[in-house]
C-alpha cells in the first residue's frame, strides 16, 4: 500500500502533531469535517538504500497509536461516556461482590477479606465518576467559543 498524502496547509496546521500519527491524518482530517479524495499516482521502485520500516515493533506502535486515535476521536467530546461507563461497571461489580460477601457471612464462613474488594470497586467507581465530571468540564471549556467567535456576523442584510 503506497500513497502520497496531499492536503491544504490549514488542515496540517489544525491536526495534532504526534510522532507516528502520520498514518492517521485521513481519519483525523475527516473528523474535523474535511473531505478526502483518492488520486492515482505513479510510484517508482526504490533505486538506492533500504527501507527502515521493518519488524514487529512497527506493528505494535501502529496498533497502540490506532487505539489512541480511536479513543481521542470517540471520547474527546464526551468523556463522561467513557468514564461513566467504567464507573457504572465498577459500581455494579462492587454491589455483586458485596452481596457475595453478605451471603458468605450469613452462611457462617467467618471473616472474609472480600470487604476490601468491595471498597476498592466502590471507591474506583467514585474516582471514575469524578474523572468523567472533570473531563466534561474541560471539554466544555475547550468547546466554548472565544470572544472573537461569539458574535461573528457572516452576512449583513441591507433594508
Residue 152 covered by a domain: no
- Based on the domain organization, do 95 and 132 belong to the same domain? yes
pTM across the whole model: 0.63
Q: Scan for cell 467504567, then name that residue.
A: 86
Residue 145 has what pLDDT? 64
Residue 146 has what pLDDT? 64
- Based on the domain organization, do 61 and 88 belong to the same domain? no
Which domain does 89 fall in, by range?
A: 77-144
Q: Name the phi and psi angles at 17, rounded to 5.
A: -100, 105
Residue 150 covered by a domain: no
Q: Is the pLDDT of residue 59 over 80?
A: yes
Residue 10 has what pLDDT? 84
The stretch 134-146 carries a mean pLDDT of: 78
- Based on the domain organization, do 93 and 67 belong to the same domain? no
Q: Are 106 and 136 in contact (CB under 8 A)?
A: no
Tens-digit pLDDT profile for residues 85-126: 999 999 999 999 999 988 888 888 766 788 899 999 999 999
- Based on the domain organization, do 62 and 19 belong to the same domain? yes
Measure CA 117 to chain center.
28
The total number of structural domains in the chain stands at 2
- Based on the domain organization, do 71 and 5 belong to the same domain? yes
Q: Is the pLDDT of residue 142 over 80?
A: no
Give the cell for residue 79.
468523556
Binned at pLDDT 50, 70 and 90, residue 40 comes out as confident
Amino acid at each position: 500500500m503506497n500513497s502520497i498524502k496531499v492536503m491544504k496547509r490549514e488542515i496540517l496546521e489544525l491536526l495534532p502533531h504526534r510522532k507516528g500519527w502520520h498514518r492517521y491524518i485521513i481519519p483525523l482530517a475527516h473528523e474535523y469535517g474535511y473531505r478526502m479524495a483518492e488520486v492515482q499516482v505513479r510510484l517508482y521502485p526504490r533505486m538506492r538504500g533500504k527501507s527502515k520500516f521493518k519488524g514487529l515493533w512497527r506493528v505494535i506502535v501502529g496498533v497502540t497509536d490506532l487505539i489512541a486515535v480511536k479513543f481521542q476521536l470517540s471520547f474527546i467530546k464526551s468523556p463522561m461516556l467513557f468514564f461513566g461507563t467504567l464507573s457504572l461497571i465498577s459500581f455494579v461489580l462492587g454491589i455483586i461482590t458485596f452481596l457475595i460477601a453478605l451471603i458468605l457471612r450469613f452462611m457462617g464462613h467467618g471473616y472474609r477479606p472480600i470487604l476490601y474488594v468491595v471498597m476498592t470497586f466502590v471507591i474506583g467507581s467514585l474516582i471514575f465518576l469524578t474523572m468523567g465530571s472533570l473531563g466534561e468540564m474541560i471539554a466544555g471549556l475547550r468547546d466554548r467559543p472565544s470572544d472573537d467567535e461569539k458574535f461573528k456576523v457572516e452576512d449583513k442584510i441591507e433594508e
